[in-house]
């Protein structure tokens, strides 16, 4: 098996965590005799500095020609005062649109060994296992018209939230299909008490749900959902929501998992899958070797599952992450209140590689007897 993976390390901690995700993929390749070919390209702030664009043509072409794309993070404080379309983040949004993936899967799991590091009381966070299905190509991020105008004598900034039935329906189907393989429950999140887009969202999701009689559907308003997530995260299975609400609620879910650095994502539905941890470039800790690589490594697992159909290998990586946490190793973001040993980004990555190898060896030994 030969697979071409475009790697976009990006800015800040992006390159630090991506290096560990690649290390784990190389371990998987070595164990199973797969050929993963990695080609690195510039995106975000680094691409602006080197090529004058947050998504150079060469990067985009490489992504479109590959089997999957792995991204670290984009964004740097030096671009904070630049208009949105010239910022590092614009490179990521252009890439998402070009790749065509409209469903962004963001699992948020409270792992038992680090449940105590959540700011939530342990009995609240522990056992939570939520899958956010975030619509990724619509809503305020891409709606037209947008911009800042002085035409009327005063300055007006405009963004547009719009959704078509087709856009809602296709992402809803992804959520219902996912729920079938989990605990059979979808919570659709909107603001139908105020927004027309949300009214269409709710009607459409309700109609799609009739094709899934085995899945339970409920609806929550987004403000209430933000509260319920913290009060009782275990009430959720699959959370289906539009682009901006999903962005906000999934960062909130970082609190349930213990750290933003734990959360992975997969963007599916397009021609080429895009895999990225949900966190940003974390300029406050960049360059120190202390970033948590688990979100990036778990994104690599999602790549194996969703782009390459390597379910067993994906599970092995996820299990390896849990084993290393169980053994007590932690980056500083997940160390509070849980005991254990402090590890650098690289050490945690190497430990997860070792665990992947041990898990594979164990399975071989089991099959041999």
> Is 214 marked active-site?
no
Shortest distance in whole angstroms from residue 74 CB to ligand NAD: 4
Q: Which residues contact 217 (CB under 8 A, 6 or more apart)?
A: 185, 186, 187, 188, 205, 206, 209
- Helix axes of 57-64 and 88-99: crossing angle, nearest 10 degrees: 30
Angle between helices 345-368 and 14-32 (to 10 degrees): 20
Size of the site for ligand IPM (CB under 6 A): 6
- Binders in 276-295 for ligand IPM, by CB under 6 A: 278
Instruction: Classify 77 as helix, strand or coil.
Output: helix
**Residues at the contact surface with ligand NAD, assessed by CB under 6 A:** 13, 17, 73-75, 89, 92, 259-261, 276, 279-285, 291-292, 295, 333
3-state secondary structure of 20: helix
Cα 225 to Cα 337: distance, rounded to the nearest angstrom: 27
Question: 127 or 289: whose CB is closer to ligand NAD?
Answer: 289
Answer yes or no whether residue 11 interacts with ligand IPM by CB under 6 A: no
Residue of 106, 33, 122 whose CA lies nearest to 274: 106
CB of 259 to ligand NAD, least distance (A): 6
Shortest CB 339 distance to ligand NAD, Å: 18
Options 11-19, 21-29, 64-72, 88-96: segment touching ligand IPM (CB under 6 A):
88-96
Contacts of 101 (CB under 8 A, 6+ apart): 136, 137, 267, 268, 269, 270, 272, 273, 274
Dist. CA 335–CA 37, nearest whole Å: 34
**Residue 245, CB-side half-sphere exposure with 13 Å CA sphere:** 26
Cis peptide before 145 (omega within 30 of 0): yes
Residues 89-108 that bind ligand IPM (CB under 6 A): 89, 92-93
Q: Among the options 67, 129, 177, 251, which is catalytic?
A: 251
For residue 2, the cross-strand partners are 35
Are the beta carbons of 117 and 111 closer than 8 angstroms?
no
Interacting positions 160-179 with ligand IPM (CB under 6 A): none
Question: What percent of the residues of the chain are helix, what percent strand, and what percent coil, each to the nearest 5?
Answer: 50, 20, 30
Which stretch, 57-65, 85-93, 195-203, 342-350, contacts ligand IPM (CB under 6 A)?
85-93
Q: How far is the CA of 152 from the CAs of 149, 156, 160, in angstroms?
A: 8, 8, 19
* Candidate list 190, 191, 316, 329, residue with the active-site label: 191
Q: How far is the CB of 296 from ligand NAD (least distance, A)?
A: 7
Contact with ligand IPM (CB under 6 A): which of 20, 167, 247, 318? Answer: 247
Q: Does 247 participate in catalysis according to the annotation? A: yes
Q: Is 191 annotated as catalytic?
A: yes
Pick what 17 binds: ligand NAD, ligand IPM, Mn ion, none; C-beta below 5 to 8 Å, kind-dependent: ligand NAD
Residue 93 interacts, among ligand IPM, ligand NAD, Mn ion, none and using kind-specific CB cut-offs from 5 to 8 Å, with ligand IPM
Q: Tell me: does residue 247 bind Mn ion (CB under 5 A).
A: yes
CB nearer to ligand NAD: pick between 100 and 184: 100
Q: Which of residues 64-83 bind ligand IPM (CB under 6 A)?
A: 75
Catalytic machinery residues: 141, 191, 223, 247, 251
Residues that bind ligand IPM (CB under 6 A): 75, 89, 92-93, 247, 278
């Amino acid at each position: 098996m030969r697979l071409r993976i475009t790697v976009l390390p990006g800015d800040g901690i992006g390159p630090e965590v991506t290096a560990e995700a690649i290390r784990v993929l190389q371990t998987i390749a070595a164990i199973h005799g797969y050929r993963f070919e990695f080609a690195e390209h510039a995106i975000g702030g680094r691409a602006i500095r080197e090529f004058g664009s947050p998504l150079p043509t060469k990067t985009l072409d490489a992504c479109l020609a590959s089997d999957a794309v792995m991204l670290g993070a984009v964004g740097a404080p030096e671009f904070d005062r630049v208009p949105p379309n010239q910022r590092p983040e614009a490179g990521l949004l252009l890439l998402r649109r070009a790749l065509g993936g409209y469903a962004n899967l963001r699992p948020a799991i409270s792992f038992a060994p680090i449940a105590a590091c959540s700011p939530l009381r342990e009995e609240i966070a522990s056992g939570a296992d939520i899958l956010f299905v975030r619509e990724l190509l619509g809503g305020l991020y891409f709606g037209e018209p947008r911009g800042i105008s002085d035409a009327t004598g005063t300055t007006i900034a405009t963004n547009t939230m719009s959704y078509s039935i087709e856009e809602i329906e296709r992402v809803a189907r992804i959520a219902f299909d996912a729920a079938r393989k989990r605990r059979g429950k979808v919570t659709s999140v909107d603001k139908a008490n105020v927004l027309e887009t949300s009214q269409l969202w709710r009607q459409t999701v309700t109609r799609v749900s009739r094709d899934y009689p085995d899945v339970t559907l409920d609806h929550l308003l987004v403000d209430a959902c933000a509260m319920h997530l913290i009060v009782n995260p275990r009430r959720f299975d699959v959370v289906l929501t539009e682009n901006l609400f999903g962005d906000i609620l999934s960062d909130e879910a970082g609190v349930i998992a213990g750290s933003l650095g734990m959360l992975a994502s997969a963007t599916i539905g397009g021609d080429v899958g895009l895999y990225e941890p949900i966190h940003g470039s974390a300029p406050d800790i960049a360059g120190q070797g202390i970033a948590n690589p688990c979100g990036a490594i778990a994104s690599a697992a999602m790549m194996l599952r969703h782009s390459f159909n390597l379910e067993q290998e994906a599970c092995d990586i996820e299990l390896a992450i849990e084993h290393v946490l169980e053994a007590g190793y932690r980056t500083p973001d997940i160390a509070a209140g849980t005991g254990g040993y402090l590890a650098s980004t690289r050490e945690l990555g190497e430990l997860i590689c070792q665990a992947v190898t041990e898990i594979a060896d164990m399975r071989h030994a089991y099959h041999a007897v």
